[in-house]
Structure 1
Amino acid sequence: MSQLATHDLTVRFGGHVAVNGVTCSFEPGTLTAIVGPNGAGKTTYFNLISGQLKATSGTVTLGGRDLSSESASQRTRAGLGRAFQLTNLFPRLSVLENVRLAVQAAREGKHLRGLNLWSVWSDHAGLVARADQILAETAMKEKEHELVANLPHGDQRKLEVALLMALEPQVYMFDEPTAGMNHAEAPVILDLIRKLKADRSKIILLVEHKMDVVRELADRIIVLHNGSLVADGEPAQVIASPIVQEAYLGVAATREPA
């Protein structure tokens, strides 16, 4: 099972250092929540790992393979699966067609020069069966023939998780998966993440600002503040630490009287 690691990962935008020398590793069987105040560098760190941004310096490795110079699509084929705050789907295709294309890409992607979902279209019964299985697991089977453009926001987020599952990544990356969802929709996404967490061969990274979600799902929390890693450990310990209370929760650290 492969370890994901960043070493001295840094990105600068002009004179601003958005992520500052973050060295951290992530093991299979662990869900790590990445938290911090607005502007702390959480999503930027995600973008550096998944390849949406090019690092100024530092490395990203998966299973000892250096991904630092590889594109986002190459990192996807290497095993990094990323779900975005905004859905990234084919709106003019049906729910089933979206998932079927992702299944086909996962099975044949290793033999392709690029991850071109359109070039690997297939009606093979095995692909359809796998897509149907994923839709059942994500409670989307009843909507398999609906156009994605017609889905409500909550169902689009569920479909995004289904696409990630279809790609069978080594690493699942969720950036605020319940953003924009109402109280009835959010538990469905969290249940899906719980199911993924049960597979102890996978690494799960979660950027989340809702501390109730973090407390419930996380095995480990890392905290970013001003682009730097300032805390790392078990949830209860990290949440109770003065630096998190002050920097993330906005609560002044309690001090003993002189």
Structure 2
Amino acid sequence: MTTPSLETRDLTIRFGGHVAVNRVSAAFRPGELTAIVGPNGAGKTTYFNLISGQLAASSGQVLKDGTDLTGMAPSTRARHGIGRAFQLTNLFPALSVLENIRLAVQARAGEGWRILRPVGRFGHLTEAAERFLEATRLTHLAHQPAAALPHGDQRKLEVALLMAMEPDIYMFDEPTAGMSLDHAPDVLDLIATIKTDPAKTVLLVEHKMDVIRALADRIIVLHNGELLADGPPAEIMDSQVVRDVYLGTATEETA
């Protein structure tokens, strides 16, 4: 079996006497979308924060293609191919949509900040940014300030920024939270497109069961910070233990 693209081994974090994530071990592979579910307070976002480096683990490991990233900063993990989108949008609000994406392309290319460089020298970066605009259907908003966009388009812009960084691992934390019924399908279509790339690994924290059914190849269930179940969607959804903890209630709410 090939080396996992991403793996956590006994990953744990304690806040005083509270264990928020407790010895969670899981391996993720390219071409697979894994939905991470569980009730409120189960440790889903904390688990994401441990993987992406926003939180330091109390014990355990995070490995990318077999390389131990556990002690690395979030920016270093990003350079190793860990891409993260958050529950709240994380944009440069005063910059235009195009400028936001161009900065991401510039960072990915290692161009850095060169304020004395003639703007004409950035043509290749602008062209690359425009391709991500087109892919996310934001071309018509290219020159709008990010702050002026409706929430749904801001979420699409965040996906565009993530795509512009060209990560191997995509991590989405409730990507449709707060979105209207009109905008949510656009973001889900983008995630579905990313999923078709056999070189990419996608992790999705989500509570909407219709979204999970449509996208997930696999479901991981967290409960009280521990790994309760891990398997194919049909198997997980049919598990009585899982239904008792989470899925039964969620299914009734979305029925």
Q: TM-score, normalised by structure 1?
A: 0.91
Compute the displacement of 1:124 (Å).
1.8
Q: Distance in 1 between matches of 2:220 and 2:106?
A: 35
> What per-residue deviation string (whole Å, max 9, x for no partner) do you get for residues 178-203 of structure 1?
00001111000000001101111000
Task: Choose from 224, 234, 237 the match for 1:236.
Answer: 234
Compute the displacement of 1:244 (Å).
1.2
Q: Are 2:236 and 2:242, in contact at CA under 8 Å, matched by a contact in 1? A: yes
Compute the displacement of 1:159 (Å).
0.1
> What per-residue deviation string (whole Å, max 9, x for no partner) do you get for residues 60-85 of structure 1?
00011110000011101110000000
Q: Distance in 2 between matches of 1:217 and 1:118?
A: 38
Q: Distance in 2 between matches of 1:249 and 1:34?
A: 12
> What per-residue deviation string (whole Å, max 9, x for no partner) do you get for residues 204-224 of structure 1?
000000011001000000000
Q: What is the aligned length?
A: 244
Task: Choose from 49, 52, 55 the match for 1:53.
Answer: 55
Q: Which residue of 2 aligns with 1:199?
A: 197
Q: Distance in 1 between matches of 2:185 and 2:153?
A: 12
Task: Choose from 102, 123, 126 the match for 1:125.
Answer: 123
* Corresponding residue SS for 2:110: helix
* CA 84–119 in structure 1, closer or farther in 2 if over 3 Å, else same: farther
Q: Are 1:101 and 1:118, in contact at CA under 8 Å, matched by a contact in 2? A: no
Q: Does 1:105 align with 2:103?
A: no
Compute the displacement of 1:249 (Å).
2.9
Q: Which residue of 1 aligns with 2:135?
A: 137
Task: Choose from 46, 60, 83 the match for 1:44.
Answer: 46
Compute the displacement of 1:97 (Å).
0.3
Query: Counterpart amino acid of 1:47?
Result: N
Q: CA RMSD in A?
A: 1.5
* Corresponding residue SS for 1:149: helix
Query: Counterpart amino acid of 1:144?
Result: A
Q: Which residue of 1 aligns with 2:93?
A: 91
Unaligned runs of 5+ in 1: 110-116, 252-258
Query: Counterpart amino acid of 2:15?
Result: F
* Corresponding residue SS for 1:237: helix
* CA 128–12 in structure 1, closer or farther in 2 if over 3 Å, else same: same
* CA 119–61 in structure 1, closer or farther in 2 if over 3 Å, else same: farther
Q: Which residue of 2 aligns with 1:245?
A: 243
Q: TM-score, normalised by structure 2?
A: 0.93
Q: Distance in 1 between matches of 2:233 and 2:9?
A: 23
Q: Are 2:13 and 2:56, in contact at CA under 8 Å, matched by a contact in 1? A: yes
Matches within 5 A, 1:21-36: 21-36=23-38
Unaligned runs of 5+ in 2: 250-255
